[in-house]
Each structure stands twice: as C-alpha cells, then as structure tokens.
Chain A
C-alpha cells in the first residue's frame, strides 16, 4: 500500500502557516497539537450538527466557527490566527460543497468509527510532519549554521526532498 499523494498535499498546505510562525521545536509542536485537537473537535461538531444548518449557510457557519475560535485563542494565548489555515486544509471540506448531501448514517454504524479513524490519522500525521520539519529546521539553523533554514526558502527545499521521497515510496502489496 502507498500513502496517497492527496494526503501529502493536504499536510503540506496545512504546514504553510508554520513558515510564518517564528517557533522552535517545542512551540511548533504545541501549536501543531492544538491544531490537531481543534480539528478533531471541528470534525465531531460538524458531523453531529451538519443537518441543523441549511445547505447555503453551512460554509458561512464553518468559517465563522474558525474565526470565532481564532479570536478566542488569540485573546487567551496570543497565538496568531494563521493556524485556521491548517485546520481548513486538514478538515474534510468536501461537505461544504452545495452538491454534497448528508447521507443517512446511524450513529452506531461501522462508518462512524472509520470516518473518525481517518481524521485521527490525518491529525497525527500532520503533527508528526510539523515536528519533523521543526526538528530539521532547528538542526539546520542552530547546529549546522545554515541561514537558509531560518527562511521559507530552506524549508521549501527540504519539503521538495520529502515530496520526492513520498512520491517515490516503494509499493508494498498486502501480505
């Protein structure tokens, strides 16, 4: 089985705000964990309340939800609100499209754990991805003294290498 490229594009686009945050390994890790926890809360909230919102207002509700939480987190922790971009790219935003209608899924069906398991994996993968890049950034910047790692330029070159490895990962069939 190969990890899909769509997952990489979501992780990468969700990582972009971390280029703006001037954070080291620890702070980047904490911010990533917050994003993952918030993603899970968002997914659970919209899973159960999806039917309450009329189709046209669902997208507005989603963005208002993000903005209100950005304000709350900024007031409480002074974390700049760029993190909502990460949540947006990690969230399954296909449900925001007008053409997608909610299916009749029972709460105690098999689809529910599968759905939440996939979101949980995306969140854990994102946190790992951010921590890996923060570690590379820290090592490159402090130990190797490469100034390009302080800038997005260096990180984009590292991500290019990660993307190359991801794209060319060996296929492993099911045993």
Chain B
C-alpha cells in the first residue's frame, strides 16, 4: 500500500487536478482534501458494488472472471461523472485492483481505502508545502523543475516509509 501511496500520490500531485496557484497554499490544501474525500468515496463505492455483485449468485461468475474490466469501467464512469482528471481515474482503478487482490473482507478493504486516501492526502500536502517553501529559496536554475520535484518526493517517501510499518 505504501508503494501505491507514493506512486499515485505523486501522479495526482503532478497531474491530478488543475493546479492552484502556489502563492495560495490554502487553496491548494482545500483541493487536496476535497480530492482525497472524492478518492475515498469513489474507491469505496466500487468495492461495495463489487461485493454486492459477488454476493448475487447469477452475476458472481462474470464478476470474478472480468474483475479488471468491471473495475476499469466503474472507475472511468465515476471519474467522468465527477469531471475528474485521467490521473484520478488511473489512481482509483489501481487502488481498487490492489486492495481487491489482497482478498480481504469488505470492511478491512474499506479501512485500507481510508488509509490510502489519507496517505495520498498527506503526501500531497507535504509536497505542496515544500514546493511553497521552495518559492522563497534560492534554488539554482539547474535544479529547478523535475530534479527538485523528484528530490522533494524522495524525501517525503523516506519519511512515510518510516511510518509504513505503523499503519500497514
């Protein structure tokens, strides 16, 4: 789950939504929290729907056979309905698939979704805060852009790695 948080937290931070101006970190923080809530609700809804589909005897074999297709279509439709970005769709799809592949019960699955959503929100909030601080530092031109972004993401990942064993 830690791998999922870092990978898709970073993807959502870079391509997840129309970026709020870095000069107003409050707006960015609000968007991160709203996106995390949307992510939690969308992923949970798909997991609940899948649990319902597997509970009905007639649909069960189809649901088990075409799980990736079902998750993908559901994630795409829900993302489009909420007018979310493509990165949001991919993140929901990957999270649903990974949590489902652990073969755990629904309530354990939902608690994992909550942990992943919170983890992604923490990653994005830290990333936003560090990028904001970077605005006021004399970063050399050669380090601006992807080098500094990857460095920041790497440092946040190191911190979250130390917390991983406490949560998962």
Which candidate, B25-33, B47-55, B131-139, B144-152, is the interface stretch facing chain A? B144-152
Q: Which B-chain residue is minimally distant from A22 (CB atoms)?
A: B3
- Which of chain A's residues has its CB closest to B142's CB? A168
A63 adjacent to B154 (CB under 8 Å): no
Binds B, one of A28-36, A100-108, A116-124, A158-166: A158-166
Q: A71-B66, A151-B157 are in contact. Are A159 and B150 (CB under 8 A)?
A: yes
**A133 to B86, alpha carbons, bound, how many Å?**
26
- Quick check: A163 and B76 within 8 Å, CB to CB? no
Q: Which residue of A lies closest to B91 (CB)?
A: A85
- Give the A-B contact count at a CB cut-off of 8 A: 108
Chain B contacts for A160, CB-based, 8 A? 146-148, 150-151, 154
Chain B CB within 8 A of A81 CB: yes
Once A63-B89, A84-B90, A156-B150 are accepted as A-B contacts, the answer to whether A16 and B157 lie under 8 Å apart by CB is no
A24 within 8 A of B: no
Are B146 and A8 closer than 8 Å at their CB atoms?
yes
Instruction: Return chain B residues, CB-CB under 8 Å to A161.
Output: 147
Contact B15 A13 (CB under 8 A): yes
Task: State whether the Cβ of B167 lies closer than 8 Å to any Cβ in chain A.
Answer: no
B68 within 8 A of A: yes
**Given that A70-B68, A160-B147 are known contacts, is A17 also in contact with B7, CB under 8 Å in the complex?**
yes
Contact of A151 among B73, B101, B161 (CB under 8 A): B161
* For the complex of A and B, 9 pairs with smallest distance between CB atoms: A67-B72, A156-B154, A153-B157, A160-B150, A163-B146, A71-B69, A157-B154, A164-B147, A152-B6
A sample of 14 cross-chain residue pairs with beta-carbon separation below 8 angstroms, ordered by A number, consists of A16-B10, A16-B11, A19-B7, A60-B76, A66-B72, A71-B72, A82-B97, A88-B86, A152-B6, A153-B161, A156-B154, A156-B157, A159-B154, A167-B145
Taking a contact as CB atoms closer than 8 A, the residue among A66, A148, A159, A164 that contacts B158 in the complex is: A148
B side interface size, CB within 8 A: 36
Interfacial chain A residues near B17, Cβ < 8 Å: none
On whether the beta carbons of A5 and B3 are closer than 8 Å, the reply is: no
| Bitwise interface map of B from 148 to 168 toward A, beta carbon under 8 Å scored 1, else 0 | 101101100110010000000
Contact A152 B3 (CB under 8 A): yes
Alpha-carbon distance between A49 and B4 when the two chains are bound, in angstroms: 35
Binary flags per residue of B34-69, CB closer than 8 Å to A gives 1, else 0:
000000000000000000000000000000001011
A67-B69, A156-B153 given; A20·B94 CB < 8 A: yes
Select A81's contact among B4, B73, B93, B147, beta carbons within 8 Å: B93
